[in-house]
């Protein structure tokens, strides 16, 4: 337990270049505190934009909530105990071993699950109905009749089985698909939402069996380039692919070649590098590809969801309980 009357200083840092749902400002903070007035009384809050606060020492800050931060500034903050990132992925903060060992780092994993569930359902149904090709025919003013079989009984291979992967697996099973999920260990706290859970080392065995591949794994040194040209070639002809994670997990150039040749049945990609996607980028003209602008897992109330998650963890902190969503610095997620 912490001191019952002590007040803590929390700094919320936002980036103006991000869309409004990611801004942590006074209005959304007050909205989050309405449900937690007792917790709000223990916190003094400051707000910053575009890293301006990091130009000065964080001498009086106990907790930091931000998407990005300079490692040297947080390492030199004498009172800083806990940093929370506004996203789930922390690949942009690596290497994590540069952070002071006693700093706790948590992420916002879990706030994306509901939208990820819905997006995956939509994507799987679109791919099964060959809608990317239908959209292409529409733009060409061409009546292109495509008859497809039911999605029920087909196989969805889900790469990654964290919160996003579990949401994707639930979505697949609700549609009647067999959900096969792969992760590092082949184990999970709950395997109720999946038909088969195996280790990522079996990826090459499962790729030829999948009708759809859904990528939800975090970007780490171990997963960068995971779906290489060689692995994409192992996919079943006509299989579709969905990426909700990070662009760098897939060799997009090789994927685009397979879409041009018709070997890949279609793709819905929600993540790119760089973002926003430049107007001259090749992705805009790839047949069978639907581009969505990193919207698969986010919602207008995203910032409120992040603060709700943080306040729940702050309550655990005050009770002396372990925090949730602690990032494993070795694994990178």
For the chain, 333 residues long, give each residue's pLDDT as a single digit of tens.
667 779 999 999 999 999 999 999 999 999 999 999 999 999 999 999 999 999 999 999 999 999 999 999 999 999 999 999 999 999 999 999 999 999 999 999 999 999 999 999 999 999 999 999 999 999 999 999 999 999 999 999 999 999 999 999 999 999 999 999 999 999 887 767 899 999 999 999 999 999 999 999 999 999 999 999 999 999 999 999 999 999 999 999 999 999 999 999 999 999 999 999 999 999 999 999 999 999 999 899 999 999 999 999 999 999 999 999 999 999 999
Question: Does residue 216 have a cis bond before it (omega within 30 degrees)?
Answer: no
First to last CA, the chain: 27
Tokens 């007050």 sit at which residue?
30
81: nearest Cα among 60, 68, 63, 99: 63
The domain defined by 113-291 folds into Rossmann fold (3.40.50)
Q: How far apart are CA 38 and CA 126, in angstroms?
A: 46
In the chain, list all ranges with CATH 3.40.50.720.
8-111+299-319, 113-291
Q: Which residues contact 186 (CB under 8 A, 6 or more apart)?
A: 197, 198, 199
Domain 8-111+299-319 matching CATH 3.40.50.720: the answer reads yes
| Cβ–Cβ < 8 Å for 165, 217 | yes
Global pTM value:
0.92
């Amino acid at each position: 337990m912490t001191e019952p009357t002590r007040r803590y200083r929390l700094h919320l840092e936002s980036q103006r270049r991000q869309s409004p749902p990611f801004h942590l400002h006074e209005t959304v903070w007050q909205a989050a505190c309405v449900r937690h007035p007792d917790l709000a009384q223990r916190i003094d809050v400051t707000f910053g934009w575009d890293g301006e606060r990091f130009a000065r020492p964080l001498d009086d800050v106990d907790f930091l909530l931000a998407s990005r931060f300079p490692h040297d500034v947080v390492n030199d903050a004498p009172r800083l105990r806990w940093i929370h990132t506004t996203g789930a992925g922390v690949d942009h903060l690596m290497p994590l071993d540069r952070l002071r060992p006693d700093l706790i780092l948590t992420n916002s994993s879990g706030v994306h699950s509901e939208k990820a569930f819905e997006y995956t359902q939509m994507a799987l149904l679109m791919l099964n109905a060959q809608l990317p090709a239908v959209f292409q025919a529409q733009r060409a003013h061409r009546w292109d009749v495509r008859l497809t079989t039911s999605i029920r009984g087909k196989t969805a291979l889900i790469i990654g089985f964290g919160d996003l992967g579990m949401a994707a697996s639930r979505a697949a099973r609700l549609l009647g698909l067999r959900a096969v999920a792969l992760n590092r260990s082949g184990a999970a706290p709950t395997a109720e939402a999946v038909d088969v859970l195996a280790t990522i080392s079996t990826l090459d065995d499962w790729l030829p069996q999948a009708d759809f591949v859904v990528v939800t794994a975090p970007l780490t040194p171990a997963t960068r380039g995971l779906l290489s040209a060689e692995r994409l070639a192992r996919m079943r002809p006509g299989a579709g692919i969905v990426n909700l994670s990070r662009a760098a997990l897939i060799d997009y150039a090789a994927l685009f070649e397979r879409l041009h040749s018709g070997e890949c049945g279609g793709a819905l990609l929600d993540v790119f590098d760089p973002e926003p996607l430049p107007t001259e980028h090749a992705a805009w003209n790839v047949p069978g590809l639907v581009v969505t602008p990193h919207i698969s897992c986010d919602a207008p109330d995203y910032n409120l969801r992040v603060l709700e998650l943080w306040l729940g963890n702050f309550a655990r902190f005050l009770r002396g309980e372990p925090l949730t969503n602690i990032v494993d610095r070795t694994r990178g997620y």
